[in-house]
Structure 1
Amino acid sequence: MNTANPATGTADVAALLENGRRLATPVLRAAVDRLAPPMNTVAAYHFGWIDATGRPSSGDGGKAVRPALALLSAEAAGAPPETGIPGAVAVELVHNFSLLHDDLMDGDEQRRHRDTVWKVHGPAQAILVGDALFALANEIILELGTVEAGRAARRLTAATRKLIDGQAQDISYEHRERVTVAECLEMEGNKTGALLACALSIGAVLGGADDRTADVLEEYGHHLGLAFQAVDDLLGIWGDPEATGKQAWSDLRQRKKSLPVVAALAAEGPAARRLAEILAADAKSSDFHAFDEAEFATRAALIEEAGGRAWTSAEARRQHATAIATLDRVDMPEHVREQFVALADFVVVREK
């Protein structure tokens, strides 16, 4: 597990994530218990709390980055971290609503080393449970009944709309021969950056922060989200399936126009031209998913040769640095800033 840069402290990321999980999970479980059967058990399976037969499971339930950020944002506003728990839970519910739908739309059969919900329980349950989690997210916030809750709910719904915009862009790009780097960054800023940005502001808003503070924290989250997604894009092609829980070359199998692919196609040289020819031929193929591993390895090698891998890695570092610099515009306790930096470092240096 990564730790913070020595220049900014030695905050333990594992402890930060575990604290976010410890505080948010009981409230998250209680929210899921509100769902009518069988949606409650389907959701419990998705979160890793039970296996496909309904028996208790020790699934990891994800990295818990967003809950940790929401609790930290409350502390950045001078409030106790517990103030951010409803925001942490709401953001986690929206995130998992998007995962349930994304897995179905992308045809992903594995997540976190287990069969996805649509694979086990069918597409209808994946859609229904996703919708239910989204409704729960708003319920958790609004039932607080405070002025701050109304402000937080507006930020959550705006972030959700951007997330959906990003997913729509992602799907449309799969059917286009060329996508610009700017378009790809806009899509990823919506699909990933918007919800991370919301996690960074929602706890602060619930803690009484003014809009300026919340906006700056959202800016940090936006850039952190772009760094996170850039790393995700690298793992989507070159990640170890044992670590990621997904198939090898998973993004190439889905024809995703992720950052490494788009950056490689934008480059000049024989590798970029050859890659463009192959992807154009792929688009006309009816048996794309029948390609063997060597075919995907060839595409990955061309992306790397054209510079797509190096460019995306550099972009992750650039977005990371921009996010860290943004923190200087918020007056917060130094230990909270160190924890923000530690989590940002974790996002960029990870294997899954």
Structure 2
Amino acid sequence: MSLTTEQTEWFSQTFARLVGNVEQAIVGKTEVVQLAFIALIAEGHLLLEDFPGTGKTSLARAMAQTIQGNHHRIQFTPDLLPSDVTGVTVYDQRSQEFEFHRGPIFANVVLADEINRASPKTQSALLEVMEESQVTVDGVTHPVDQPFVVIATQNPIEQAGTYRLPEAQLDRFLIKTSLGYPEHDDAVRILANAPKGKAAAVVRPIIGGGSILQLIEMAQQVHVDPALYAYVSRLTEETRDAPEVVLGTSIRAGLALVRAARARAAAFGRGYVLPDDVKSLAIPVLAHRIVLDPEEDFRGTTSEDVIRRVLERVHVPQESAAR
């Protein structure tokens, strides 16, 4: 079942409202905010890697405030335990039964601040919930609320006391992106409109969790032509064959790229995916999933460079064939 014209119009208008609302707190970063909501609507998770003070936490907080759902912030530290994230089972002497006390992971939007500061054991507590939207404690499975998204931040510069995210963890993030520093005019606007004192910008909620679930369901109905499935498959295969890498992207990466492309197409008012949707999302969806050859890394080659070369090598299907 494909989307009607009215549905695509409502989708794109709602998406624009979500982005515009967050831009009250994050000025001049429209593309990054769009990627963040694409991750949410594609039922994925978002990793923000950037320098201190660029607004990573502010973006996550503004997204949580925009959605009329509950949100929790977890400050990841070396002494954080898995039970501090997922929750713990406690024996109640009155009822003589074990009760599960839910951890902060049980929220619609979870901000995992400085995720790479936690130990690998604690990071592994997120693997199940990010993939299957459930937590298993003492053999009992507990589903998390829907919609559900983890927005994680990490600092690429300050590496003392941090743990590199393993490939299995990185693969759970649908999109990895960065905010970067604002342009001069945007920086002037931020300085002029900054609240006095240390109060952070607060945005009003404009949409409920039920509407987000509706957006998710509608995005899944966006048409993808078989030629584009072949295109995505070829892109992932090329990353595995690229001489610069020792580990390319898996079929999970291809599935993630298709889901994100569907969400982007609907966000721009279309009921079908175009090659440009795939190309524009290839770097934020695929780059963080490949492992570079150490020699290439030493030469200064980046994962983004590899994806750009792959995009240049792979033939792009004609738009008329993709509709």
**Range class of TM-score, shorter chain:** 0.3 to 0.5
The structure with the greater share of residues assigned to helix is: 1
Scaled by the length of structure 2, the TM-score of the pair is 0.32
Higher strand proportion? 2
TM-score between the two structures when normalised by the length of structure 1? 0.30
